[in-house]
Amino acid sequence: MVFENKNSHWIDAYTRKFEESFKSINLLDKKKEYWRFASPLIWHDKLPIKKFQETRSSQSLKFDVTKYSFLRFNDGILDIETLKNFINENKNIEICSFKDIFLKKDHWSSLKFSKAQLKAEKSYERPLALFNGFNARDGVFIKFKKGVKKNLHIIYEGKNEKNTCIRNLFDLEENSEIKVFEHFYGNSKYNIVSELFAADNSKLEHYKIINQDISNSVIYHFFGNCKKNSKIKTVNFSFSDTPVRNEINLYLEGTNCDTTVASMGFGKKESSICDNTVFISHQEESCKSRQIIKNALKNGAKAIFQGKIFVDSKAQKTDGYQMSNGLILSDDCEFLVKPELEIYADDVVCSHGSISGTLNEDHLFYLRSRGIPLIEAQKKLIQAFYSEILDEVSEDNIVYYIQNQISEMITL
Amino acid sequence: MFEIKDLHVNISEVEKKIINGINLKINPGEVHAIMGPNGSGKSTLSYTLSGKEGYEIEKGDIELDGESILDDEPDERAAKGIFLAFQYPIEIPGVGNLSFIRTALNSQRKFNGKDELNPAEFLKILREKADFLNVDMEMLKRPLNVGFSGGEKKRNEILQMALLEPRFCILDETDSGLDVDAMKQVSKGVNFLRSENRSFLIITHYQRLLNYIKPDFVHIMAKGKIIKTGGPELALEVEDQGYTHLLN
């Protein structure tokens, strides 16, 4: 364990368990089903820190959060000033840093901590989430109380080239409506686990933006347990040319849940890997899930999508949809896709599809026939390729920011 | 002035020669119609003039105001004043109609050394033209041509033409798929744009469009060549007798 806390704490049992489980896994085993396309060693910090690209420090790359409620992590440690400000501004939200949990004997999170992760472990081994479990240095545990509506930005700023394990927990009580925007910048090698507990009728929009200036790998685990009528959306934007893996595991444990997992990636170099491994488990009736993945690739970049929809025998009237699209802009790229449906109910609608191709020549010609130069026409079509993902974003300023990032990336 | 000089064109993909020596001169302000049986090369001609890839010019030239445009890219030809109204305007999901038209207009303005229009200026001009052509502004907020009826797509083409103000307009079977009312609407737009500085090349199968857009010259095309040229009465002759007697 990282912390030198000599007193026994309820987290200790979990961290021991995580460590034991991690040590029992052979990371070199190439037969692991969900690590076939990219080895866990790419994200594991036992290796020397590998800087994949130089950081391009630019204000234009950063989203201005000063007008909003925000929390900041510097090299993996929560900034105390931002925490204090957040506590003062938000009386109906309970928040505690992961470090401070160890100072509290009783905390509401003891009833929830690692429950979502342990459930997710049943679907397949997640060695790097286990590693996070006994190496996390900090994080935030936030309880959004009944009926609360809140937008929150979390900035992860990595000035130094460090391994950064962060552990978060988001507890949404009934009828709360929350939007969380996570922004990643800088030199850290990130390993993050966020657990979500969504109570009846709660809503979460979760956006994760891996900025262009990230110079190291990022692995983000998002484990969610969703109760009745909850509406959960998690959208990922990957602009860095480093390995990024999103592991998303959602259990739909109440009826009428509605979940969307969307991701867009733009890989421009051989060092770029955009890996989305998504597992959605329908446990109750009448739930709906959507997975939409879009990746544009050039110059040897690689994208991976492993998406599974599991439907329990109780989960009648399930509506599950999965679509992945690859826009291949040069011959040396790879878009590796493994869709899965495992269905045990008999009254369901589930579909999956995958399409890869280049920019449509007829579309390009139509735009150019109106005087739009080739580069501008290509930009428009690439923007159009991502429009289905951008349609998921409910905040105009974020849409505008993402569109600018895409525009800048196309010209690089 | 637009001139086609002894043009011979192959379609690269199938290595087949489609245009077998066309000569055509279109002066400013003139409206020329091209009619002909299926497979005569009419659409090949329109794509070649607009610079679409895959149409290999084996011989000949295409000149705008005395200068060859053979080396010009499609966007350069457009900026110089050539406009192609497509027979089947393509749907492009995710590209907003409004944003597309504004980008096109400003790209052409930039090419020609003019200042770009700001959003307010653009909207003012757009509203005027859209109202005249009975194009619903709500339609313009949708993705380009997506979900548009045939008539809406053709009206969108004419709206683009009205905004971009080209000097030479090629209308490739603009009337195909249109009912009479839609055709009248489209024709109204085209006639509004007729001027002494603007010329048209109208490609059509049917004489009925030419009841609404009266041509100065009618050319009959067959097997990649113009086999007969006349006035508007030639279109009536074809309507009455077909192409067979001309082909023989």
Q: Which residues of A touch B111 (CB under 8 A)?
A: 371
A177 bridge partner residues: A149, A203
A305 lies in a domain?
A: yes
Q: Is residue A258 predicted with pLDDT exceeding 90?
A: yes
Average pLDDT rounded to a whole number, residues A138-148 = 96
Q: By CB neighbour count within 10 A (0-12 exposed, 13-18 middle, 19+ buried), where does B76 fall?
A: middle
Closest Cα of chain B to A363: distance in Å?
A: 7
pLDDT 10s digits, A340-375: 999 999 999 999 999 999 999 999 999 999 999 999
Domain count, chain A: 1
By DSSP bridging, strand A163-172 and strand A140-144 are: parallel
Token digits of residue A257: 């849940």
A283 and A315 in contact (C-beta within 8 Å)? yes
We report the CATH number of the domain holding residue B213 as 3.40.50.300
Domain containing A200 equals 10-359
The maximal CA–CA distance of chain A, rounded, in angstroms, is: 73
A309 in a structural domain: yes
B10 touches A: beta carbon within 8 Å: no
- The shortest C-alpha distance from B133 to chain A (Å) reads 19
* Residue A402 · residue A366 · CB < 8 Å: no
Cα–Cα dist B169/A27, whole Å: 65
Alpha helices in A90-194 (DSSP H): 98-101, 115-121, 127-135
Which of B74, B89, B94 is nearest residue A368 as measured by Cβ atoms?
Answer: B74
Confidence of residue A236 (pLDDT cuts 50, 70, 90): very high
Mean pLDDT over the full length of chain A:
91
pLDDT of residue A11 exceeding 90, the answer is no
- Return the structure tokens found at A181: 């925007």
Structural domain includes residue A391:
no
Which candidate, A57, A330, A50, places its Cα nearest to that of A212? A57
A103 touches chain B (CB under 8 A): no
What pLDDT score does A54 carry?
54
Tell me how close the Cα of B232 comes to any Cα of chain A, in angstroms: 29
pLDDT of A390? 95
| CB-CB contact of B164 with B157 (8 Å) | no
Return all residues near A64 (Cβ < 8 A) that are at least 6 apart: none
Q: Which helix (H) or strand (E) holds A7?
A: none
Mutate to test the interface with A, among B53, B95, B169 (most CBs of A within 10 A): B95
Is pLDDT larger for residue B174 or for residue A81?
A81
- CB within 8 A of B50, min separation 6: which ones? A369, B74, B77, B78, B82, B84, B170
User: Could you tell me which residue, B248 or B168, shows the higher pLDDT?
Assistant: B168
Q: What angle do CA B27, B33, B39 make, to 5 degrees?
A: 125
Q: Report yes or no: B156 at the A interface, CB cutoff 8 Å.
A: no
- A319 C-beta neighbours (distance < 10 Å), count: 15
pTM beyond cutoff 0.80: yes
Chain B residue numbers with beta carbons less than 8 Å from the beta carbon of A388 are: 94
Contacts of A371 in chain B (CB under 8 A): 75, 78-79, 104-105, 107-108, 111, 164
Of B84, B92, B94, the CB nearest to A369: B84
Lookup result for tokens 């339609």: B139
> A5 pLDDT band (50/70/90 cuts)?
very low
Give Cα separations from B176 to B34, B154, B171, B235 (angstroms): 14, 9, 11, 17
Instruction: Work out whether the CA dihedral B156, B162, B164, B167 comes out positive or negative.
Output: positive
pLDDT digits (tens, 9 = 90+) for A175-217: 999 999 999 998 889 999 999 999 999 999 999 999 888 889 9
Q: How many domains are there within chain B?
A: 1
Looking at residue A2, its pLDDT comes to 42
In eight-state DSSP terms, residue B229 is: E
Q: How far is B190 from chain A (nearest CA, A)?
A: 17
User: Residue A373 is nearest to which of B75, B86, B160, comparing CB atoms?
Assistant: B75
DSSP state of B118: P
